[in-house]
Chains A and B, each alone.
Chain A
Amino acid sequence: MFCDAARRSVPAVLARVVTFAIEGVDPRPIWVEVDIRPGLPTFRVVGLADAAVREARERVRAAILNSDFEFPARRIVANLAPAHLRKVGPGFDAALAVGLLAASGQCAAQALGRWAIFGELSLSGEVRGCRGVLAVAEGARRAGLGGLIVARERAGEAALVEGVEVAAVEDLRGIAALLDGGEVPPPPEPTPAPAGSIVAPEAPDLADVRGHELPLRALEIAAAGGHNLLLEGPPGSGKTMLARRLPALLPPLTREEALEVTRIHSVAGIGERGTLPTVRPFRAPHHTVSPAGLVGGGSPPAPGEATLAHHGVLFLDELSEFSRPSLEALRQPIEDGEIVIVRGQLALRFPTRFTLVAATNPCPCGYAGSDRPCRCGEHELARHRRRLSGPLLDRVDLLVTVARPSAAALAAAPRTASATVRERVLAARERQRTRLAGTTMHTNAQLDAGALRAQVRLGDSARRALAQAYDNGGLSARGHDRVLRVARTIADLAERETVELDDVLQALALRTRESADEALAA
């Protein structure tokens, strides 16, 4: 329907240009209609435009004049349709200018039906890149348009989307030449980033970790089953260093996942451009982050850290220092894999499928249970425990203690690299994929109560051990299921279809703390 409307021939005084607005992280088609008629010289932009769009008038006027075109001294009205959609940002500049040129007969209007135009204008007429180019390219493909005209500097990103011809233009004259039947300037070949530029470093490897056998084993299990993980240990024991190594253990991004990650990061204006990432994103927001910063929000709603960590790892260091509202806000994203933000009549969906790694000191001073004496008072300890016993931790399957490695461990030979561990993780994921084929679940961490009963076959001794742990009172019903999920993953890593005693025992040793454990603490 949209394409028919876009291709319909338009009267000479009325030009229609297709561009896109970003709503959340999704592209929405926008028609820029420019009407020029005799009257007092004015230039108005209507259609729920924000400040940046209204300022576009000045940029468009200067850009047109500085590109040696004529700015018609007549009554000009530009409409951004549909009118109900809020238009934000400077990405409509180029489309407005082209609409004006076409309506005033300074460039050909025939080709406007097959191109979407997206970009900001400088006063000199240069076309600049904007956030969200990849999302716009996907929108152009979905709308069935032939091509997308974008700034040369962001054309590489747009070219990641297959099935859309990308025209990489330098300035307004370039667009006019293209529409007048000139050659399509191809996007630049992806070039290796020049030395010294800021690009995401390769994910750190396990090979340079000494000691930490237990946390590394927990990381492997977390990666294999998609389990959320809590690292607990005194300051300086290496919690952050370990968490940063999780992305290297996770399976590489698939092409679809990489596109989605790039689209989100492009909308948020962060990350590498022009090539698809292979390593999963790792986001580590500071503990002062607001709920909106963590899960998305603001006006207009922007993606939060949880969405930026989509398909990757969200690392919350000093978990007990995060505000209660922030942690509460994470519940829906963890539970549903997306967050819905409602603004007026608008409900925006941001994807949030990440693996959560949280780190915390065992107590406010950090030294409870370590070799140094703890200096915390009872109230501080109680507050710390309360903060850590929230509903968020109901979604964490693994608890592992990180201790400062011994001098002997530091002097030991390097261990196996991430790649070796990742092979085991991939094999375990493959087993899960086969077992879960035909369901909406992908990993053991997602197994719901019903699937747990159906999918997890327990050996006799394993069943007895789990029942015993449950009857002893050390496990809640939820805790029981968490142990079962982790045991399933451990068995997958060991390439066993039946979950045996050893798997259940290891899962029990890595279980999260529950109130029963706390009864005697402090």
Chain B
Amino acid sequence: MSRGAQDLGAACEPCLRRSWLIARLTAHIDRAWNARRGRAALLGLDDLALVDALAGDRRDAILAEYDRFDAAAVRHRCAAAAVAALCHCDERYPTPLDDLPDPPAVVYVRGNLSRLERALARDCVAIVGARRASPYGLEQARGLGRGLAAAGLTVISGMALGVDAAAHVGALEADGATLAVLACGPEHAYPASKRRLHARIVADGAAISELPPGSLPRRWCFPARNRIIAALARATVVVEAGERSGSLITAGQAADLGREVGAVPGLVTAPLAAGTNSLIADGARLVCGPRDVLELLFGAAAETLAAVAPDDRRDGLEPDLRALLGRVGAGCDTVAALADGAANVDATLAGLAQLELRGLVRRGPGGRYVATA
């Protein structure tokens, strides 16, 4: 592949038409999805069956469009959006997706194709979780992303608010590989507040999607996206999930595909830990840090473990700072709670700033401190 002109892949016409059809029917799929009609099998239907099942009285019109499908126009749109298309027939198509009963016909990629190949050639770990995560959850996701990327793994997530974004940020911090699987066209930053993150992921990794450029996210797109995350990753780790979280769907799909599943535990009283704790109860691996994920994938004797050094940042810490850090870790997180009386405020402030300078705590929203992972 030449380094000059961007490699946009060479998707074949039937595959492009298939993915065009999915995008064309997105509103119909959404309606069927929300009405809970044949959810699971929907994307596995072949083209004509899909139109028959969904289009209703628009059937003939859509079939006419289907027959007039112009692959060149799609390729042109992809080129304009700097999006590459890897179809199912392409040898570079990610093979793990073939484990799915309904693999996407085309994977659209915003970012460098050879970088995507390199990222997928490594062991991939998905880190998913709640959008409205707690500072603790964000910190754990970021720490996992950083640690696993530093160990040479690829971090996959959905670039959603909260845990997903934190996992990407962690991987980028470690200059590691990270892939974002989006529920819209890969060139489109959704949610919009993650524009900057999207740009960084595209620059250092890749954003991928089964939907062609210009597609906007619908409700059905998110669980559909989750199946791609679950399939691409060797292990899926859930960080914070409520009782009925979408992340649990991802974990379930991963388990169905025979992939490993891990979960970061939380307080039994925390609603955001209900999902993860029940995953652990159901047999998911309890994940306290990157080392647990590496052990899960490669066994206790794995060489990669050396890449994630045991946490020695606490060593050599002055006794009072160590005590302060211990109390922060135990959930005593405001200055008011940490300082027992008026005389202690100055010392507490100074101690927290020390710990923050050493990267051991972070000041979160509401002035709450959280121990870093």
Q: Is the CB of B350 within 8 A of A415?
A: no
Given A465-B357, A508-B357, residue A232 in contact with residue B345 (CB < 8 A): no
User: Quick one: which of B357-373 are within 8 Å of A by CB?
Assistant: 357, 359, 363-368
Residues of chain B with a CB closer than 8 A to A510's CB: 349
Closest to B365 in A: A369
Instruction: Pick the residue among B161, B352, B365 that contacts A509 (CB under 8 A).
Output: B352
In this complex, how many residues of chain B approach chain A with their Cβ under 8 Å: the count is 38
Q: Encode A475-510 as 1/0 by CB contact (under 8 A) with B.
A: 000000000000000000000000001101110111
**A520 CB to nearest chain B CB (Å):** 5
Knowing A369-B366, A378-B193, A469-B357, say if A520 contacts B165 (CB, 8 Å). Answer: yes
Are A519 and B169 closer than 8 Å at their CB atoms? yes
Q: Using A362-B365, A368-B366 as known contacts, say yes or no to A211 and B345 having CB atoms under 8 A apart.
A: no
Interface centre among B142, B336, B341, B344 (most CB of A within 10 A): B336
Residues of B within 8 A of A465 (CB): 353-354, 357
Which residues of the partner chain A approach B344 to less than 8 Å between Cβ atoms?
Answer: 213
Known: A217-B345, A508-B357. A211 touches B336 (CB 8 A): yes
Interface status of B278 (Cβ within 8 A of chain A): no
Q: With an 8 A cutoff between CB atoms, is B334 at the interface?
A: yes
Flag if B346 contacts A403 (CB, 8 Å).
Answer: no
Cα–Cα distance between A122 and B138 once the two chains are bound (Å): 71
Residue B162, interface by CB 8 Å: yes
Q: Assess whether A214 is in contact with B336, with CB atoms less than 8 Å apart.
A: yes
**Measured between alpha carbons, how far is A468 from B359 in the docked complex, in Å?**
11
Contact B353 A522 (CB under 8 A): no
- The distance from the CB of B266 to the nearest CB of chain A, in whole angstroms, is 15
Expressed in whole angstroms, the minimum distance between the Cβ of B246 and any Cβ of chain A is: 15
Most buried by A among B161, B169, B342: B342
A360 to B271, CA, bound (A): 27
For A373, what are the chain B residues with a Cβ–Cβ distance below 8 Å? 271
A378 interface neighbour in B131, B135, B339, B352, Cβ under 8 Å: B131
Instruction: Give B194-224 interface residues, CB cut-off 8 Å to A.
Output: none
Question: At the interface, yes or no: A180 with Cβ under 8 Å from chain B?
Answer: no
Provide the bound-state CA to CA distance between A468 and B356, in Å: 11
When the two chains form their complex, are residues A401 and B191 in contact, meaning their CB atoms are under 8 A apart? no
Is A313 at the interface (CB under 8 A from chain B)? no
Contacts of B144 in A (CB 8 A): none
Docked CA distance A519–B162 (Å): 11
Cβ-defined partner of B367 (8 Å) among A382, A400, A409, A521: A400
Q: How far is the CB of A474 from chain B (nearest CB, A)?
A: 8
Pairwise interchain contact B161-A378, C-beta atoms closer than 8 A: yes
**Within 8 Å of chain B (Cβ to Cβ): is A389?**
no
User: For residue B369, which residue of chain A has the nearest CB?
Assistant: A509
Contacting pair B345 A401 (CB below 8 A): no
Q: How many residues belonging to A are interface residues under a CB distance threshold of 8 Å?
A: 44
Give Cα A213–Cα B341 distance, bound, in whole angstroms. 7
Q: Are A214 and B365 in contact (CB under 8 A)?
A: no
Measured in the bound complex, the distance between the Cα atoms of B130 and A373 in whole Å is: 14
Nearest residue (CB) in B for A508 is B353
Q: Is A214 a contact partner of B345 (Cβ separation < 8 A)?
A: yes
Contact with B along A448-487 (1 / 0, CB 8 A): 0000000000000000010011001010000000000000
Does A105 sit at the interface, judged by CB under 8 A? no
Q: Which of A218-272 contact B (CB under 8 A)?
A: 232-234
State whether A509 and B339 are in contact (beta carbons under 8 Å apart), knowing that A378-B161, A472-B357 are contacts in the complex.
no
Q: Which residues of A contact B191 (CB under 8 A)?
A: 378
The answer to whether A369 and B341 have CB atoms under 8 Å apart is: no
The answer, yes or no, to whether B166 is at the interface (CB within 8 Å) is yes
B335 interface hit (Cβ, 8 Å): yes
Q: How far is the CA of A501 from the CA of B356 in the complex (A)?
A: 14
Is the pair B363, A517 in contact by a Cβ cutoff of 8 Å? Answer: yes
In angstroms, Cα B175 to Cα A372, docked, is: 37
B292-322 interface mask toward A, CB cutoff 8 Å, 1 = contact, 0 = none? Answer: 0000000000000000000000000000000
Set of chain A residues within 8 Å of B351, measured between Cβ atoms: 505
Could you say which of A369, A403, A474, A508 contacts B336, with CB atoms under 8 Å apart? A403
Residues on A with C-beta less than 8 A from B342 are 213, 216, 415
The CA of A401 and the CA of B337, in the complex, are separated in Å by: 12
Q: Which among A234, A370, A406, A521 has the highest number of chain B CB atoms within 10 Å?
A: A521
Interface of B toward A, CB cutoff 8 Å: 131-132, 135, 138, 142, 161-162, 165-166, 169, 191, 193, 271, 334-337, 339, 341-342, 344-346, 349-354, 356-357, 359, 363-368
Question: Could you jot down 17 A-B contacts, CB within 8 Å?
Answer: A212-B336, A213-B345, A217-B346, A233-B366, A369-B367, A369-B368, A378-B191, A405-B336, A406-B336, A465-B354, A469-B357, A506-B349, A506-B353, A509-B335, A509-B356, A520-B166, A522-B193
